[in-house]
Amino acid sequence: MSDKGKITPSILPGFMELLPGEQVAFNGMLDSIKESFELCGFLPLDTPVIEKAEILKAKGGEETERQLYAFKKGENELALRFDLTVPFARYVSQRMNDLTFPFKRYQIGKVFRGERPQKGRFREFYQCDIDIVDKDNLSLAYDAEILSTTYTTFERLNIGGFLIKINNRKLLTGFIESLGLNEKLSKILRNIDKKDKTGDESVKQELSNMGCSSAQVEKLIKFINTDGTPKEIIKSLAALNIGNENFQTGLEEMQEIVKYLGYMNIPVSCWKIDLSIARGLDYYTGTVFETILKDYPEFGTICGGGRYDNLTEYFTSQKLPGVGVSIGLTRLFDQLSERGLIKIDGSAILRVAVLPLGEYMELAYGLVANLRKNNVSAEVLLLGDGLKKKLSIVNKRGIKFAAIIGENEIKNKVITIKDMESGEQEEVNIENVVDYIKKA
Amino acid sequence: MSDKGKITPSILPGFMELLPGEQVAFNGMLDSIKESFELCGFLPLDTPVIEKAEILKAKGGEETERQLYAFKKGENELALRFDLTVPFARYVSQRMNDLTFPFKRYQIGKVFRGERPQKGRFREFYQCDIDIVDKDNLSLAYDAEILSTTYTTFERLNIGGFLIKINNRKLLTGFIESLGLNEKLSKILRNIDKKDKTGDESVKQELSNMGCSSAQVEKLIKFINTDGTPKEIIKSLAALNIGNENFQTGLEEMQEIVKYLGYMNIPVSCWKIDLSIARGLDYYTGTVFETILKDYPEFGTICGGGRYDNLTEYFTSQKLPGVGVSIGLTRLFDQLSERGLIKIDGSAILRVAVLPLGEYMELAYGLVANLRKNNVSAEVLLLGDGLKKKLSIVNKRGIKFAAIIGENEIKNKVITIKDMESGEQEEVNIENVVDYIKKA
């Protein structure tokens, strides 16, 4: 057979496409995240994949513009969303009068970034976002609610131990200001943000290169490495006696959030204060946090978020402070998959295969219809000659039960139900098959 | 407050974006469809939104090209998928050696068509597709399986009575050939396909305009209006004594499918043979069908599908016949919504609102944590001064239970649980609250 003259079936580099078994596992994670978000009272939202380019470009930024899939159709300048946060800011600004505040929403969907493809980087990937916004003011209880939902989500996702590292931008900013380094603020933040990847020495070197004195460098490095329990860290921050207003506000906010996290019974093994967390995105104004997997710190940040006060400022004069978090599921799945940590299991879909051994099609299809009516997934297996071959197919596909209809069964008005895991089989009266399977 | 200098927050025309209550209802339909597909043993699949343009253009067609969102990024010619069928054909051709055949897959996702926006037409909309493909040959039992899954899906969707209208392209083709109208075949099929919208007279007129004789026109109109039970129609088709090979094969296929639909216990009120069904898409080669809502025939076709033998021919020489169906959910939801047939119900997400009347935050957040741990969706309601105001908010949001924590409750170590639907309330021991709610 020659495929000459055919178009080679392929996809673009940087796009994830899974085999069915992998897809079942991926959807399992997606559903688990969705359930956790709903358990915590977040409402679903779905915004268009295609937005007006001016909306997505509102905030600007060289990197965003370069990565943006932007194009023209008719008279319109269009673009594909590169995150779910900007469309959310647009949505809340647009539908303000139709929403109840504080507005808690989740959105799970694909976003698009035309990055240079490299290992672990995707051009199309799923983000799973939650955000809470309110008019004028938003209680710090909601920062804690986002952290608590993050905890619930990873706890239920069951991918091993995780650690939520929490900081407050105002603490960092205030400390840097107290060192008289106001003018280098954003450069220093960007540098600190890279600490986990590059290490202390590299951060020190770059701070020196920026023109920080060695005393300033030492103080900064000591500060971002402050270690201890939340209470200990708060105590040592207070003991620094820094009068800077940002610093003091940050400290109060941190204390408040720590108080709420206690109320919410989040195990202390799952979170800590980490003063080196800065977050790359410049719209964060208060609480910031990142999550890592304890057994796989090399995965890096598997979700990140924080408080933002001005995200809607391009669209409305109404003040709409918010706090949120985003999980990059495609990359996480890819990393887990690469380590063999994803269980590929076809049985997740089909529970019963009905095996007619001969011309018993009417009975076979009738049984399948009855099972489906009773919410048991089932199908007739037409493949394979003979019982042995048929059972080996059922086994290979990971289907839990085989329902066998042969000459003997017809004679005795029974169906043989074989449990493929235990290997045990039983003859069950035709009328009782659905009940038998449902109870099993 | 002035929004001068701000970008007006808005979306493009032809894109659907819902309010949270509507989104809950939409997701309910989406989830129901997904569950039905899985109940019938279809495996999930997710292909990229962005494909190589040459893949999507493989089949060609002027309308497709005009509607395609195509653009360039770097060196690549890209396009957004306009259906889920072409990406599926590409996927099966590409991953043939990794798949088990017959391969049953479902895919639910957005597709994109740059149509002129008009009422009921969307540029971005959800398609919910199932397909079954096999190598070389595909049993007609699978045509029936697709019809049976369509039945299961609409039965469970619970949107009123529906009718699946079934035909076979070979019957139509054979009959037209038997009239000696081979050369006008595709024109005639396109004309017949419009019958439901335009009526018999218009079809007649156009057939005459094409150059059909009045005898041919009468025969064709009589044929496509053949009415009766499936058995009666099959009998009258046989009685036509048409020797044409396509016609005879079509008749045999139809008989076989009718037999299977009987085995599957699909109520005869839900399906009929309708010889006027042609389907617009030219890749169908056998079974074709459409579904309408009995109470809302003016909605038109809410899903359509059929058998195709050559869909993968642009990508591979391996013969991969298939059969499938596609539900256009965005349009259906829009139509149901417009008639007020969508129940907007916020309660679908949140089950319990915890109302601390004073400084009982620790207890309130602890209770919420405990409820969530036990899979009961819950949150602390911070809004509203006083019990009356708080209860009115809970009521307005459609939340099922209010858990009230006040001075009296603290004293007696109870929590008052109010059922917002019945209005009844009960004092429940703090340790028993989770059980009480789970049992309610």
pLDDT tens-digit readout, B345-372 = 655 689 999 999 988 999 999 999 999 9
Rounded to a whole number of angstroms, the distance from the CA of B284 to the nearest CA of chain A is 21
Q: Cβ of B366 and A265 within 8 Å?
A: yes
Q: Tell me the mean pLDDT in the region A162-172.
A: 97
Q: B-chain residues within 8 Å CB-CB of A90?
A: 9-11
Facing residues of A365 across strands?
Answer: none
Q: What is the dihedral of CA A300, A304, A306, A309, to 10 degrees?
A: 110
CATH class of the A12-159+303-344 domain in this structure: alpha beta
CATH 3.40.50.10260 fits B348-439, yes or no: no
Q: Tell me the mean pLDDT in the region A61-74.
A: 90
Among the residue ranges A6-10, A395-399, B95-99, B334-338, the one predicted with the least confidence is: A395-399
Tell which B residues from 232 to 251 touch A, by Cβ distance under 8 Å.
Answer: none
Q: Tell me the mean pLDDT in the region A418-424.
A: 95
> What one-character DSSP code corresponds to residue A398?
T
Rounded to a whole number of angstroms, the distance from the CA of B61 to the nearest CA of chain A is 16
Q: Tell me the mean pLDDT in the region B243-264.
A: 97
Q: Are B197 and B299 in contact (CB under 8 A)?
A: no
Tell which A residues from 334 to 363 touch B, by Cβ distance under 8 Å.
Answer: 346, 349-350, 361-362
Q: Cβ of A19 and B380 within 8 Å?
A: no
Q: Cβ of B123 and A51 within 8 Å?
A: no
Of chain B, the percentage scoring pLDDT greater than 90 comes to 86
| A202 CB neighbour count, 10 Å cutoff | 13
Q: Tell me the mean pLDDT in the region B19-27.
A: 95
Of A9, A51, A262, nearest to B94 by CB-CB distance is A9
What distance in Å separates the CA atoms of residue A343 and residue A355, rounded to the nearest whole number?
A: 27
Q: Cβ of B123 and A368 within 8 Å?
A: no
What distance in Å separates the CA atoms of residue A297 and residue A274, rounded to the nearest whole number?
A: 15
For the segment A422-431, what is each residue's pLDDT rounded down to a tens digit?
999 999 999 9
What's the CATH number of domain A161-294, 3.30.200.20, 3.30.930.10, 3.40.50.1170, 3.90.280.10? 3.30.930.10
Between the alpha carbon of residue A379 and those of residues A51, A339, A399, B39, B248, the distances in Å are 42, 34, 10, 9, 30
Fold agreement (A12-159+303-344, A161-294): yes
Query: Hey, of B2, B7, B26, B37, which one would you mutate to test binding to chain A, going by the most A CBs within 10 A of its CB?
Result: B7
pLDDT for res B348: 66
Facing residues of B322 across strands?
Answer: B133, B308
Q: Cβ of B15 and A382 within 8 Å?
A: no
Residue type, A23: Q
For the segment B268-288, what is each residue's pLDDT rounded down to a tens digit?
999 999 999 998 767 899 999
The CATH superfamily holding the domain B13-30+40-145+299-309+319-344 is Bira Bifunctional Protein; Domain 2 (3.30.930.10)
pLDDT for res A348: 66
Q: Tell me the mean pLDDT in the region B156-171.
A: 97
Q: Are strands A414-419 and A43-44 parallel, antiparallel or unpaired?
A: unpaired
What distance in Å separates the CA atoms of residue B17 and residue B126, rounded to the nearest whole number?
A: 12
Q: Are B349 and B322 in contact (CB under 8 A)?
A: no
Whether the bond into A102 is cis, omega within 30 of 0? yes
What distance in Å separates the CA atoms of residue A44 and residue A21, rounded to the nearest whole number?
A: 27
> What one-character DSSP code corresponds to residue A346?
G
Rounded to a whole number of angstroms, the distance from the CA of B347 to the nearest CA of chain A is 10
Q: What is the mean pLDDT of chain B?
A: 94
Was B84 annotated as part of a binding site?
A: yes
Q: Tell me the mean pLDDT in the region B34-46.
A: 97
On the CB side of B143, how many CA atoms lie within 13 Å of its CA?
26
Q: Is B22 exposed, middle or buried (0-12, 13-18, 19+ CB in 10 A)?
A: middle
Rounded to a whole number of angstroms, the distance from the CA of B110 to the nearest CA of chain A is 9
Was B123 annotated as part of a binding site?
A: no
Both tokens of residue A407?
Answer: 């000459």
Rounded to a whole number of angstroms, the distance from the CA of B217 to the nearest CA of chain A is 41
Q: Per-residue confidence at A346, pLDDT binned at 50, 70, 90?
A: low
**H or E stretch covering A51:** strand A50-52
| Helix-then-strand count for chain B, H and E | 17, 16
Residue ranges of domains in chain A: 12-159+303-344, 161-294, 348-439
Q: Are B379 and B365 in contact (CB under 8 A)?
A: no
SS3 at position B210: coil
Q: Is B417 exposed, middle or buried (0-12, 13-18, 19+ CB in 10 A)?
A: buried
The pTM for the full model equals 0.96
pLDDT for res B346: 54
Q: Does B48 touch chain A (CB under 8 A)?
A: yes
Q: What is the largest CA-CA distance in chain A?
A: 93
Residue of A nearest to B68 (CA): A73
**Contacts A–B by Cβ distance under 8 A:** 261
Query: Hey, of A372, A380, A393, which one would you mutate to test binding to chain B, going by the most B CBs within 10 A of its CB?
Result: A372
Please state at what angle helix B245-263 crosses helix B141-157, rounded to 10 degrees: 50
Q: Cβ of B41 and A378 within 8 Å?
A: yes
Q: Cβ of A40 and B377 within 8 Å?
A: yes
SS3 at position A291: strand
SS3 at position A239: helix
Between the alpha carbon of residue A111 and those of residues A108, A128, B12, B111, B296, the distances in Å are 10, 10, 18, 15, 37
Q: Cβ of B124 and A7 within 8 Å?
A: no
Tell which A residues from 13 to 42 touch B, by Cβ distance under 8 Å.
Answer: 15-20, 23-24, 26-27, 38-42
Q: Are strands B425-429 and A414-419 parallel, antiparallel or unpaired?
A: unpaired
Rounded to a whole number of angstroms, the distance from the CA of B246 to the nearest CA of chain A is 27
Tell which B residues from 374 to 433 touch A, by Cβ distance under 8 Å.
Answer: 375-380, 382-383, 396-397
pLDDT for res A385: 86
